[in-house]
Chain A
Amino acid sequence: MEPSARHMPHPLDDLLRVDRIPHIWCPGCGIGTVFSSCLTSMKSSGIDLAKTVMVSGIGCSGRGAGYVNLDSYHTTHGRALPFATGMKLANPELNVVVFSGDGDLFAIGGNHFIHAARRNIELTVVCVNNFNYGMTGGQVAATTPFLAKTTTTSLGNPDSPFNLPLLAFAAGATYVARWTVLHARELMGSIQEALLKKGFSFIEVLAPCPVNYGRRNKLSLLDTMRLYQQKTIIKNGASPTELDIDFSRGVVLGKFIDIQRPTCIESYDRTCRPQEIAEGKAA
């Protein structure tokens, strides 16, 4: 390698706040790969990046918004979706990408998630599911697998986790997919489709948190990746009811839902602004 090559910029540097790189994520943390896939897809989808914003909540995953070199919004814990909803409704021509964690989107923010999906707000939601609250020291989450160990379930989690794609589908999402960080290529395909989708899109990405979740479950970074390689099954179009996360049986990945129904803005305008539509001022 020529020595000068070491100083060449990375192809994503234009979308990164490079002054903040290296980022805070631990060695082997999967969030960086999900984030990088997200940036690549934003570029390759052809959407107008000058009209694209990223919104995150709180958590390690929630740091995403702080690293993208576009307009972005780091909101309060659990509230990424309400902020994103407000932005989209106030300025419908924006592409709004929500990048946040499983705890942020489905524990404290769970209620906002179901209603954003129900109303079919046109957002792209990328959820980094690392099965725990990474940032605060590895507590149990609404996504922690049954019997898995966390700081607050030292004997194993007695509860069942959410099946996130089923939840998203039941609440009304029009695009639903799940991948792992090892399936980054397929993940980029899904994020790209979701960005171009007119409707509420949800993508779950399973990602290692080696420092908290991995350590307590005796999974090194490479063990987790091998689990993603050996214990997953790609089944596009699988029924959301088959998607429980149980690595002993195998975890199903793929694109599960891609349907069309009126978005929040379309229904609102048809119902509440018929006069403006007639005059060509609304959707």
Chain B
Amino acid sequence: MKLWRIPLDSQTVQTPKGIVHILEDRCKGCGYCIEFCPKKVLQFSNRFNKKGYHPPEAMNEGDCVNCHFCEIICPEFAIYSMEDTRA
């Protein structure tokens, strides 16, 4: 996200971190998750799934903010995010 100024509380606000899980064989390659991820975390992979579609993969996984939008917009129940508790 582009900000026109740095928010005053940027030091104290913590951005959530997420991990995105992909159930590759359910994907039909519509690309909605890729197009509408606000952090541009996803891209099409070169792999084919069982049905011959290219499922998405996380290219910038560290940028995922666990907003769940990929999960909500996916028509196939093929992707979801979870809070990253590793840090």
Contacts and interface: CB of A to CB of B under 8 A. Distances in A.
A32 B75 contact: yes
B21 A22 contact: no
Contact of A1 (B21, B72, B74, B76): B21
Interface stretch (A3-11, A109-117, A252-260): A3-11
Contacts of B77: 10, 12-13, 16, 21, 32, 36
A225 B36 CA distance: 10
B76 A22 contact: yes
Greatest chain A CB density within 10 A among B32, B58, B78 is at B32
Contacts of B30: 27-28, 221
Nearest to A33: B75
A25 B75 contact: yes
B72 A184 contact: yes
B22 A221 contact: no
Contacts of A40: 72
Q: Is the interface of B mostly helix, strand, loop or mixed?
A: mixed
A121 interface: no
Contacts of B80: 10-11
Contact of A182 (B25, B36, B53): B36
Closest 7 CB pairs of A and B: A32-B75, A27-B28, A28-B30, A184-B72, A10-B77, A33-B75, A5-B21
13 contacts: A1-B57, A1-B61, A10-B78, A16-B77, A27-B28, A27-B29, A28-B31, A33-B73, A33-B75, A36-B75, A188-B72, A225-B32, A225-B35
Interface of A: 1, 5-6, 8, 10-13, 16, 21-23, 25-33, 35-37, 40, 181-182, 184-185, 188, 221-222, 225
